[in-house]
Amino acid sequence: MKLVSQDIDKNGEGMVTLIPEEAEDMWHAYNLISEGDSVRSTTIRKVQTESSTGSSTSNRVRTTLTITVESIDFDTQACMLRLKGRNVEENQYVKMGAYHTLHLELNRKFTLKKHEWDSVSLERIDMACDPTKLADVAAVVMQEGLAHVCLILSSMTIVRAKIDVTIPRKRKGFVQQHEKGLVKFYDQVMQAILRHIDFSIVKCVLLASPGFVKDQFYEHMFQTAVKTDNKLLLENKSKFKLIHSSSGFKHSLKEVLQDPHVINKISDTKAAAEVKALENFYTTLQCEPSKAFYGKKHCETANAEQAIETLLISDSLFRSQDVKLRKEYVNLVDSVRESGGDVKIFSSLHVSGEQLEQLTGVAAILRFPMPELEDSDEENEES
Amino acid sequence: MARHRDIRNMDYSEDYDGYDDVYGHSVDDDFYISPSNRQFLYNREPSRSSEGDIKEEDESEAELSDIDRAKLASCIDQIKQIIGSISISRNDLVNIIIQQKFDIQKSISVIMDDSLHSAAPEKDNSDKSKFTVPKLNSGITNYAPKFTIPKFTIPKLNENSHIASLDSNKIIDSIADKKQFGNLSDLVSTHLKINSVSPPIDFKTQLKFLHKNKPETLEITPKLGKMSISESRSSCDMPDKTETKFQIDLSVALKNTISAPLISTKEKENFQIPFIDCEPLELRHKKEALNKELLCTLNMKNVKNLKLTSEKKKSFFGRVICRNYKRYVKQIMQEKINLNNIKRFDFSSVSPDIVNQPEVVQTSELDTATKVISSTPKTVNITKGFDLPQKELKVSITPRSQSPASGKITPVGNTIFDNVDDVKTQRITDSKFDPQKLYQKERGDGKEHLYMVVIGHVDAGKSTLMGHLLCDLGQVTLLDAPGHKDFIPNMISGAGQADVALLVVDANRGEFEAGFDYGGQTREHALLVRSLGVSQIAVAVNKLDTVSWSQERFDDIVKKLKTFLRQVGFKESDVSFVPCSGLTGQNLIIKPTENDLLRWYDGPCLLEVIDKFRSPERPVSKPFRLSINDIFKGTGTSFCVSGRVETGTLSAGDKVLVCPNREYAVVKSLAIEESSKTIVFAGDQVIATLSGIEMQNVSVGNILCDPQRPVQVAMKFQARIVVFNVSVPITKGYPVVLHNQSLVEPVVVNKLISQLNKSTGELLKKHPRFLGPNTSAIVEIQISRPIALELYSECKELGRIMLRIGGVTIAAGLITQIIL
């Protein structure tokens, strides 16, 4: 993302002009824009005109519109962002108050105007515009009959392909069927890798599986590559890394990202950092239950005591449509920072973020135990 | 569109004013209705004239007081319970009851006496509630010519069906709470005995039944219904071959029964469901075939109505009798035996219907009777094709039945059974008695199959031990589970099919400890097999030769394992320890020869211990369930699934439901270890060839089940879990892998509902924040897509779950509640 201009007054009101450059930037934009903001961007609109004779013609014109956002749709697979709202600046084609849906496009600038820019949003802009682009990693988690081909970007994990086939088991007199099924499965995974992984961007492909599936697959893939003279694969052979995972389900990515070899390679991706932070939280919960809490109420109480050392919070909470609620979370983040705590905003598109989201979306590791919180929790939960 | 102003501004609604009148409603014509919609259309034509008839009947009660009316109602109910709707109209019944001052005993004896003295005329009387010969005849003769147009046929048939349903309705009433037969029913049975004039078939055996069993009167009506059908047949001389196309008629029958006002909603549902299958064919054929097949239609319809009632409580024997009866009727038609005779036979065969004792079956129909059962399920799937294998049918035909058509007529009745949803109830009664019986019969003689899983830490010597054992023995079915932790999922699906387990531990110093202490597979495996429902375990203390058969070492291991296994939940009596050596074969299949061992050990050898395993009880009478653990191509176009029959029985030809997709499939053939079977029972490892379903639509972990009593499908459930020794606590939102039989599915622990005391099960804490190691709790689990589940209380086999993450089993549990 490119920041073109920023004009925010001391009250936090103002506008920012940005140019999204890649798919992931749409995700940032999605997290930035909330309902009630106004967005100005170029768009295509179908305009109907009636001539004096009464005949009407409709044609598509490219025009620049400003709308107040009423609803936001984000397609994670295609990384498309759709903003629906009413026009607030009349022009020759579109009347005031007419509805229009903006599609934010790559490499076309848009201006976002907010009544209040909070710290979380500003941080998001900084993060999105960080030019030190992190390594893009692809991962294939697989087990016999199941594979997920994923792209791990710095703030999102996208499952590009899921391959789920049944492979007959080995049985007396039916071994060929098993082998055939296996080969077919490997071929499908290989096709998915070729189709979805852009080796010019991706620096590393992690092949993870339990047992020997990954080894067999690796072997099969390069044998086939040699046979079919697939230069692309052969050239990038060094990018493949074999890692152990316990299953081929998506949440096994967590294990993959915890693997020491992987951490070395991609240590600065957000994904790995998030996994580690969440892991820390769970360990604390196990060892010192009175130092780890989750849920908004607990975290707020702990924060009031300035007890929070690390706050884990999911970005989905900031997309809340309830402005008040969003503000409460922003305040929590600000106040933790003020008291010297560390705040980790999890991307809800990562596996760890998904898990945190299930875990109420907010969790905290405390500086000191607060057993009184534990006692109070029964009443809280019941009420 | 034209650009001219006039055209653009034209008011279309004006021009099309009349449009709606002509085209606004669909043409209500049977010819053009899509077959699949047919059943949803309301039939506007029929005059439901018979409604009046029913009301009239009730009028005699009008002058009764409220209390009397209540008494009357209860009397009628009870009498119906006892004698069914034997042969008396409600009017007469009311009169008799009033005469006898609401005394049930007396009323019944009056009724029975009446029916005794005037058995034949009584039945020929055109009782309104009864499906009688004259009426039917007149119906046919009058309306037959007009049947070229379907519209006509339906209302007319309706009247008849209505009468039939009226009848059946009564019986349903009586069935509803038919639970006990008192003296009165005995009274009935004696009456019947006296009454019964020996019919040519099976009378002796039937008498036996009379002695042995209480009569179940509800069987009477169906017989009457069928009887009158046969009468009408004979009177009209309809050719038998029409029977073959009866499928067509079912739709008519269906329609009629639905429109018949008296049938309760419950029944309607029953009717509709099974018919969907055969619908499309029916209607197409219907038009041209209807003319010829009017009579048949009538038959089917009536039979169906009556069947509906009869099936509610019909034992398989009832069906046998029905067939007998049909055969008999056939004979009668040929031999032109008079009607009275039939009736008497009918009466006498009433009581045998409830016979359920196996011995009786054998005496009566000999082996045919039992075969019939196995053939009945086969007809389930035949609703579509109708090319019934002749072989199956012949099973139920005794040499006596001379009619060439009997081969056809038998399936007719059968298919109706299957079409009407009564199979459900029929099966219920069936399964109460038959599967057990069958199981005894099929498997009683031979040795019972027992599935044993061999478990143990990596390199404990499982495969060596078993290899040696097998080598010495010849052949045994063996499920060898890998010890490495990556393969535990495989082991789970293997162990899920086992009845008993053999735990192999390495007696080597250090090795045993490595496998047993935290992180070793010995513990996890033992825990797993116990959680998977294996209750008997033998422990082979292997490689004892390497510690020179030291008793001390053996005792040490035994002591440690005993405590552990008890904790895990094995009963002391179900655990046995055997010292052995897999490599040398010492104490495997013969008593030890090694002196060092003989000095202190005189117990059984491994083989004896294995032989001593009790075979667990096979839940054959529960609804059928099979968890698919492998899918592969068979010969030809079909494909095979393999898995263990968890509960119930399955026969070749059965229709099964594949859950959670809820798709129907037909079992073409069955095999246990390459030997083909016609019926398999709970506990068997089965390879079933399926047809009628795409291979892609079946996946490992799907459940095959009885379509009538399907397994539940849900995305959320509550479970009581025991958390093992976990390094990371379980919190809300914790992603885990769920294992349930052969199903492996990623799930999320959605809610922690309550934490329980591990041993007593009492509530410790509501909504705990997390579940640490060695706790017990109730949790809610969310699955990302629907899966087939069963409550533990209903099906132990499918109600067990296992939660794993990162290659470690973190919890095992039981499904306590399914949230739809």
pLDDT tens-digit map of B544-571:
888 888 888 888 888 888 888 888 888 8
Residue ranges of chain B assigned to CATH 2.40.30.10: 625-705, 712-819
CA distances (Å), origin B240, targets B244, B245, B296: 8, 10, 9
Is residue B618 within 8 A of residue B345, CB to CB? The reply is no
**C-alpha B126: how far from chain center:** 39
Instruction: Give the pLDDT of residue A84.
Output: 93
Candidate from A174-183, A357-366, B292-301 with smallest mean pLDDT = B292-301
3-state secondary structure B299-333: HHHHHHHHHHHHHHCCCHHHHHHHHHHHHHHHHHH
Instruction: Give the pLDDT of residue B542.
Output: 86
Measured in angstroms, the CA of B626 and the nearest CA of chain A are apart by 17
Q: Where residue B165 falls among pLDDT bands split at 50, 70, 90?
A: very low
User: Do A328 and A363 reside in the same domain of the chain?
Assistant: yes
* Residue B103 CB contacts under 8 Å (≥ 6 apart), including other chains: none
- pLDDT exceeds 50 at position B747: yes
DSSP state of B581: B
Residue ranges of chain B assigned to CATH 3.40.50.300: 452-612
List own/partner pairs for A323-332 with CB under 8 A and 24 or more apart. Answer: A323/A34, A323/A36, A326/A34, A327/A118, A328/A296, A328/A300, A329/A120, A329/A296, A329/A362, A330/A118, A330/A119, A330/A120, A332/A299, A332/A300, A332/A303, A332/A362
Question: Rounded CA gap, B264 and B270, in Å?
Answer: 10
Closest CA to B752 of B731, B727, B772: B731
Closest CA to B642 of B788, B633, B678: B633
Beta-bridge partners for A50: A56
Question: Rounded CA gap, B492 and B488, in Å?
Answer: 6
Please list, residue by residue across B171-186, b when 16 or more beta carbons sit within 10 angstroms of its beta carbon and e when fewer do. Answer: bbbbbeebeebeebbe
Sign for the pseudo-dihedral over CA of B691, B695, B698, B703? positive
Whole-number average pLDDT of chain A:
86
Most confidently predicted of B74-78, B306-310, B325-329:
B74-78
Beta-bridge partners for A343: A311
Mean pLDDT, residues B581-596 taken together: 82
Instruction: Give the pLDDT of residue A108.
Output: 87
> Mutate which of B5, B485, B487, B630 to test chain A, going by most A C-beta atoms within 10 A?
B630
* Residue A51 CB contacts under 8 Å (≥ 6 apart), including other chains: A57
| Phi, psi (degrees; rounded to nearest 5) at A293 | -135, 155
Closest CA to B188 of B25, B337, B371, B347: B347
**Bigger pLDDT: B520 or B190?**
B520
Contact status of B6 with chain A (Cβ, < 8 Å): no
pLDDT, tens digit, 9 for 90 and up, residues B352-373: 333 333 333 333 333 333 333 3
**Bigger pLDDT: A283 or B182?**
A283
Q: Where residue B171 falls among pLDDT bands split at 50, 70, 90?
A: very low
User: Do A263 and A340 reside in the same domain of the chain?
Assistant: no
Instruction: Give the pLDDT of residue A134.
Output: 58
| Vertex B291 angle, CA B285 and B293, to 5° | 75
Is residue A339 within 8 A of residue A368, CB to CB? The reply is no
Instruction: Give the pLDDT of residue A269.
Output: 66
* Residue B609 CB contacts under 8 Å (≥ 6 apart), including other chains: B538, B576, B578
| Inter-chain touch B487–A54, beta carbons under 8 Å | no
Tokens matching residue B378 = 């086969």
What secondary structure does DSSP assign to B13-70, as a single string? Answer: HHHTTTHHHHHSS----GGGS-TTTGGGS---S---TTHHHHHHHHGGGGGS-HHHHH
| Inter-chain touch B766–A174, beta carbons under 8 Å | no
Helix (H, G, I), strand (E, B) or coil at B584: coil
User: Do A70 and A192 reside in the same domain of the chain?
Assistant: no
Task: Identify the H or E element spanning B666.
Answer: strand B663-672
Tokens matching residue B490 = 């495989």
Q: Do the bridges between strand B649-651 and strand B639-647 make them parallel or antiparallel, or are there none, so unpaired?
A: unpaired
Candidate from B130-134, B228-232, B358-362, B522-526 with smallest mean pLDDT = B358-362
Instruction: Give the pLDDT of residue B434.
Output: 66
Contact status of B16 with chain A (Cβ, < 8 Å): no
- pLDDT exceeds 70 at position A114: yes
**Bigger pLDDT: A301 or B40?**
A301
Mean pLDDT, residues A306-311 taken together: 91
| Vertex B733 angle, CA B730 and B737, to 5° | 70
Which candidate from A55, A168, A354 shows the least CB-CB separation from B632? A168
Closest CA to B787 of B805, B804, B799, B795: B799
Which residue in chain A is spatially nearest to B773 when comparing CA positions?
Answer: A286
| Of the residues A239, A268, A297, the one at which a domain ends | A268
Q: Which chain A residues touch B732 with a CB distance below 8 Å? A: 294, 358-360
Mean pLDDT, residues B620-643 taken together: 85
- pLDDT exceeds 80 at position B520: no
* Residue B153 CB contacts under 8 Å (≥ 6 apart), including other chains: B143, B146, B147, B252, B290, B294, B297
Question: Rounded CA gap, B327 and B47, in Å?
Answer: 36
- pLDDT exceeds 90 at position B741: no
Contact status of A348 with chain B (Cβ, < 8 Å): no
Where helices occur in B177-219 by DSSP H, the ranges are 183-195, 203-212
Q: Where residue A365 falls among pLDDT bands split at 50, 70, 90?
A: very high
| Inter-chain touch A286–B729, beta carbons under 8 Å | yes
- pLDDT exceeds 70 at position B458: yes
Q: Which chain A residues touch B487 with a CB distance below 8 Å? A: 210-211
Q: Which chain A residues touch B727 with a CB distance below 8 Å? A: 286
Beta-bridge partners for A162: A148
Whole-number average pLDDT of chain B:
63
Contact status of A356 with chain B (Cβ, < 8 Å): yes
Question: CB-based burial of residue B574 (10 Å sphere; 0-12 exposed, 13-18 middle, 19+ buried)?
Answer: middle
Question: CB-based burial of residue B475 (10 Å sphere; 0-12 exposed, 13-18 middle, 19+ buried)?
Answer: exposed
Q: Where residue A222 falls among pLDDT bands split at 50, 70, 90?
A: very high
> Mutate which of B492, B673, B731 to test chain A, going by most A C-beta atoms within 10 A?
B731
Number of helices (H), then strands (E), in chain A: 12, 16
Instruction: Give the pLDDT of residue B348.
Output: 37
Candidate from A122-126, B50-54, B707-711, B756-760 with smallest mean pLDDT = B50-54
Domain B625-705 coded CATH 1.25.40.10: no
Contact status of B729 with chain A (Cβ, < 8 Å): yes
> Mutate which of A141, A182, A212, A246 to test chain B, going by most B C-beta atoms within 10 A?
A246
Instruction: Give the pLDDT of residue B230.
Output: 39
Q: Do the bridges between strand B575-579 and strand B536-542 make them parallel or antiparallel, or are there none, so unpaired?
A: parallel
| Inter-chain touch B3–A359, beta carbons under 8 Å | no
Q: What's the pTM value of the predicted model, to 2 decimals? A: 0.60
**Bigger pLDDT: B361 or A122?**
A122
Question: Rounded CA gap, A175 and A167, in Å?
Answer: 11
Tokens matching residue B538 = 């033998």
Contact status of A368 with chain B (Cβ, < 8 Å): no
Q: Which chain A residues touch B775 with a CB distance below 8 Å? A: none
Which residue in chain A is spatially nearest to B782 when comparing CA positions?
Answer: A358
Measured in angstroms, the CA of A243 and the nearest CA of chain B are apart by 13
Which residue in chain A is spatially nearest to B745 when comparing CA positions?
Answer: A249
Helix (H, G, I), strand (E, B) or coil at B808: strand
Which candidate from B486, B630, B767 shows the least CB-CB separation from A378? B767
| Of the residues A128, A157, A176, the one at which a domain ends | A128
Measured in angstroms, the CA of B631 and the nearest CA of chain A are apart by 5
Q: Which chain A residues touch B772 with a CB distance below 8 Å? A: 286, 289
User: Do A255 and A281 reside in the same domain of the chain?
Assistant: no
pLDDT, tens digit, 9 for 90 and up, residues B470-510: 777 765 555 565 667 777 777 777 777 788 888 888 888 88
CATH of residue A335's domain is: 3.30.1330.30
Tokens matching residue A5 = 């201009």
Q: Which chain B residues touch A351 with a CB distance below 8 Å? A: 735
Q: What does the radius of gyration of chain A's CA atoms come to, in whole angstroms?
A: 25
Q: Do the bridges between strand B649-651 and strand B685-691 make them parallel or antiparallel, or are there none, so unpaired?
A: unpaired
Beta-bridge partners for B221: none
Tokens matching residue B584 = 């040398």
Instruction: Give the pLDDT of residue A332.
Output: 92
Beta-carbon count within 10 A of A372 CB? 11
Closest CA to B705 of B670, B656, B669, B644: B656
Tokens matching residue A99 = 């509805």
Question: Rounded CA gap, B423 and B172, in Å?
Answer: 16
Kindly state the percentage of chain B with pLDDT values over 90.
5
For B712-819, CATH gives: 2.40.30.10
pLDDT, tens digit, 9 for 90 and up, residues B128-152: 444 433 433 433 334 433 333 333 3
Beta-bridge partners for B739: B744, B802
Contact status of A211 with chain B (Cβ, < 8 Å): yes
Mean pLDDT, residues A214-218 taken together: 93
pLDDT, tens digit, 9 for 90 and up, residues A141-167: 999 889 999 888 877 888 889 999 888
Contact status of B672 with chain A (Cβ, < 8 Å): no
CA atoms within 13 A on the CB side of B820: 6
Is residue B71 within 8 A of residue B102, CB to CB? The reply is yes
Please list, residue by residue across B378-396, b when 16 or more beta carbons sit within 10 angstroms of its beta carbon and e when fewer do. Answer: bbbbbbeebebeeebbbbb
3-state secondary structure B437-470: HHHHHHHCCCCCCCCEEEEECCCCCHHHHHHHHH
Q: Where residue A66 falls among pLDDT bands split at 50, 70, 90?
A: very high
Kindly state the percentage of chain B with pLDDT values over 70.
49
| Inter-chain touch A166–B631, beta carbons under 8 Å | yes
Mean pLDDT, residues A165-177 taken together: 80
Q: Do the bridges between strand B808-819 and strand B800-805 make them parallel or antiparallel, or are there none, so unpaired?
A: antiparallel
Protein fold of B452-612:
Rossmann fold (3.40.50)
Task: Identify the H or E element spanning A66.
Answer: strand A56-75
State which residues form the domain around A51.
2-128
Instruction: Give the pLDDT of residue B770.
Output: 87
Instruction: Give the pLDDT of residue B782.
Output: 92
Contact status of A180 with chain B (Cβ, < 8 Å): no
3-state secondary structure B100-168: CCCCHHHHHHHHHHHHHHCHHHHHHCCCCCCCCHHHHHHHHHHHHHHHHCHHHHHHHHHHHHHHHHHHH
- pLDDT exceeds 50 at position B402: no
End-to-end distance of chain B based on CA atoms, in angstroms?
52
Looking at the 3D structure of chain A, how many domains does it have? 3
**Bigger pLDDT: A166 or B394?**
A166
Candidate from B112-116, B126-130, B609-613 with smallest mean pLDDT = B126-130
pLDDT, tens digit, 9 for 90 and up, residues B800-813: 888 988 888 888 88
Q: Which chain A residues touch B479 with a CB distance below 8 Å? A: none
3-state secondary structure B508-561: CCCHHHHHHCCCCHHHHHHHHHHHCCCCEEEEEEECHHHHCCCHHHHHHHHHHH
Mean pLDDT, residues B716-743 taken together: 88
Which of A 43-72 lie inside 8 A of B, CB atoms?
A: 54-55
Instruction: Give the pLDDT of residue B13.
Output: 56
Mean pLDDT, residues B643-668 taken together: 90
| Inter-chain touch A357–B733, beta carbons under 8 Å | yes
Contact status of B559 with chain A (Cβ, < 8 Å): no
- pLDDT exceeds 60 at position B162: no
Q: Which chain B residues touch A293 with a CB distance below 8 Å? A: 769
Question: CB-based burial of residue A198 (10 Å sphere; 0-12 exposed, 13-18 middle, 19+ buried)?
Answer: exposed
